A and B are shown apart, each in its own frame.
Chain A
Amino acid sequence: MNLILIAVISLGAIALVLAAILYVASKKFAVYEDPRIAQVGEVLPQANCGGCGYPGCSGFADACVKAGSLDGKFCPVGGQPVMAKIADILGLAAGEAEPMVAVVRCNGTCANRPRTNQYDGAKSCAIAASLYGGETGCSYGCLGCGDCVAACRFDAIHMNPETGIPEVDEAKCTACGACVKACPKAIIEIRPQGKKSRRVYVSCVNKDKGAVARKACTVSCIGCGKCVKTCPFEAITLENNLAYIDPAKCKSCRKCEEVCPQGTIVALNFPPRKPKTEEATAAAPKAAVAPKETAAAPKETAEAPKVTE
């Protein structure tokens, strides 16, 4: 009995002393943390995708609170509604950010780009790219092993089994950029979604000379420069036999798409053209249906100019 009493008293005494030390330490070494960081963290989607450029959601919340301004900060997953909530919490003005989307700049489908050999190694684009230029004559285009699909945390990109090219589901894509990093060929680009999801881009990354590129793929950019000359807004640049449309300058007039002899320039989700070229009245009623089409599915769109030629 005595023994138990001693044990209880001694342990109790130790506990009291330690509690006192802990109490003093917690007061003396307390670190003040802005409670707003936790509040901001709560409204964030907690996907920790890193699409904002910070190492996860808590890093972003911390940066938002400490920066004192929301300029240049944008959560691609939550988008504008989440940014508005953060602005409310912090009493700041939310930075306006254009919604972005991932764009697959390759249209080298099985039909457009004939196979010249067969890769039978591990099914990974990173490995295939380190060993070979690809299964076709184009060493720049999509390898089709689906590293981008594996990288996407939002189920927004899928391989189309018919074309062998990935397609982006615009409704799910948050433009976090994981697929861009995963693609060893740098085919995927984050571009502004555009009004009513309408956008014009060059669906090719082939830097080979025209003749080589054309032989490898029927819808490759041959670097002819017609689009550069046609563009009234100087939005198109031609470098290394490859045209690029600067989304900041592009006004979506679609003149380049018309002149492209290869059908490489894709104008997505636009209503069908009227028989005579009158783009002025482009905002047609069909627009509500059109945006449902996903990116990089534009086989019809891509080949349309050929028919008209």
Chain B
Amino acid sequence: MLKTFSIGGVHPHENKLSAHQPIITAEVPAKAVILLGQHIGAPAKPIVAKGDVVKVGTKIAEPAGFVSAAIHSSVSGKVAKIDTIVDASGYAKPAIFIDVEGDEWEETIDRSTTLVKECELSTEEIVKKIADAGIVGLGGACFPTQVKLCPPPSFKAECVIINAVECEPYLTADHQLMLEHAEEIMVGVSILMKAVKVNKAFIGIENNKPDAIELMTKVASGYAGIEVVPLKVKYPQGGEKQLIDAITKRQVASGALPISTGAVVQNVGTAFAVYEAVQKNKPLFERVITVTGKSVAKPSNFLARIGTPMKQLIDACGGLPEDTGKVIGGGPMMGKALVNIEVPTAKGSSGILIMNRKEAKRGEAQTCIRCAKCVSACPMGLEPYLLGALSENGDFETMEKERIMDCIECGSCQFTCPANRPLLDYCRLGKGKVGAMIRARQAKK
């Protein structure tokens, strides 16, 4: 019996169309646009000005606060301007525009492919290097990694959990990364273990990737304390709290930090980025992105520089299909539709999904038939039908009592609803309003 999390969950069609497509290094764009807010927390402060010459890997923005991350240039060339650009949501966001000239890397970066296993650095040095490299959680939430590696002193880390679940349908970036860079990932995991001073790590992989499980298990045998845990396929297993539950059978209490269970969860992509940052001095300026969709001519996995226009990646897969209904940044469950395809990729871009018109069409919302499918699907044990109704009627006080802040916005409720109710939309609205209410209350104190 394979392990999985204990409550709720759904199983959407996997549609891993780009599985086993080797990672292709995408072309360096002619113009890169690097957003300043690519992570949770305060947007970074630019430290370059118009006309400055930058190389690949040059730091161009400093973190602005504790929860923030540094940003590095992904290209070499001249800073054209620091201005706003319409991002995936349609709002203008500050960004650094770089005109690309050549492809000159910072000399400090080790560009060889030789595996560097030994890491002699102390815990503090590792964390500092990770912070300097601007690494954030690459699963999509983009939480600055150094913050996660320094839990509040009242908590003690007991193990590292590596999220290699990739539970989102369609996405294959992490899967392919494991197949091609298993050794590097293991070194990255060992470094993460050292950073939080634990000697146990689990790598959770869903068993729809048997080749990755086999390879990772084989490679892990050469490293002390790393165990690969095959997991049953169930969405949203990649959620931090769900993964902790699946692997350690400990549940995170409502409102508590995941570290309270003693687990530090990191994405597999993050582990790879940590390896590159610590062992190769390479800051985070490129990542693996899946470009996929049923009508896409050639679904692929790209290693793309951050700041590449999404259109360029789509074109590299054979262009935007005729019957495109929606282009989604991320996976189909948690991703958000893009308002235009010129937007640049960011640290959190795990995939670009092109849905055809038929797939993209939302069913017409009907009245709730009280079937409670959403209640059984909710992995956080909430009652989405109730939260949806409360949000619709603006009763945010009751929503707070109904634990809306526990919602992880996984969309299982909306996915399972036979009446096509936009439950996630309403829950997101409520979460936003309740969050603002709580902050206002704390500010008053």
Cβ of A121 within 8 Å of any chain B Cβ, yes or no, is yes
Q: Which residue of B lies closest to A137 (CB)?
A: B86
Place the interface of chain B in its size category. 10 to 19
Docked pose: A134 CA to B429 CA in angstroms? 16
Residues of A within 8 Å of B, CB-based: how many?
17
Contact flags B352-384 to A (C-beta < 8 A → 1, else 0): 000000000110010000000000000000000
B395 shortest CB reach to chain A, Å: 14
Docked pose: A44 CA to B273 CA in angstroms? 67
Q: Which residue of B lies closest to A208 (CB)?
A: B92
Docked pose: A208 CA to B93 CA in angstroms? 12
B365–A122 CB distance below 8 A: yes
In A116-148, which residues have CB < 8 Å from any B CB? 116-117, 120-122, 124, 126-127, 130-134, 137, 139
CB within 8 Å for A121 and B425 given contacts A116-B339, A116-B340, A130-B432: yes
List chain B residues, Cβ under 8 A from A121: 362, 422, 425
In A208-238, which residues have CB < 8 Å from any B CB? 208, 212
List chain B residues, Cβ under 8 A from A208: 92
Q: Which residue of B lies closest to A182 (CB)?
A: B394
List chain A residues, Cβ under 8 A from B92: 133, 139, 208, 212
List chain B residues, Cβ under 8 A from A130: 428-429, 432
Cβ of B66 within 8 Å of any chain A Cβ, yes or no, is no
A139–B426 CB distance below 8 A: no
Docked pose: A121 CA to B414 CA in angstroms? 11
Contact flags B101-121 to A (C-beta < 8 A → 1, else 0): 000000000000000000000
CB within 8 Å for A133 and B426 given contacts A116-B339, A117-B340: no
B86–A133 CB distance below 8 A: yes
List chain B residues, Cβ under 8 A from A124: 392, 425, 429
Query: Chain A at the B interface: mostly helix, strand, loop or mixed?
Result: loop
Cβ of B280 within 8 Å of any chain A Cβ, yes or no, is no
List chain A residues, Cβ under 8 A from B422: 121-122, 127
B426–A127 CB distance below 8 A: yes
List chain B residues, Cβ under 8 A from A116: 339-340
CB within 8 Å for A139 and B429 given contacts A116-B340, A117-B340, A122-B422: no
Cβ of B65 within 8 Å of any chain A Cβ, yes or no, is no
List chain A residues, Cβ under 8 A from B337: 117, 132
Cβ of B90 within 8 Å of any chain A Cβ, yes or no, is yes
List chain B residues, Cβ under 8 A from A132: 89-91, 337, 339
Docked pose: A116 CA to B341 CA in angstroms? 11
Cβ of B336 within 8 Å of any chain A Cβ, yes or no, is yes
B interface residues, Cβ below 8 angstroms from A? 86, 89-92, 336-337, 339-340, 361-362, 365, 392, 422, 425-426, 428-429, 432
A interface residues, Cβ below 8 angstroms from B? 116-117, 120-122, 124, 126-127, 130-134, 137, 139, 208, 212
Report 12 cross-chain contacts, Cβ distance below 8 Å, ordered by A residue.
Answer: A121-B422, A122-B425, A122-B429, A124-B392, A124-B429, A127-B425, A127-B426, A130-B429, A131-B336, A131-B428, A133-B92, A139-B91
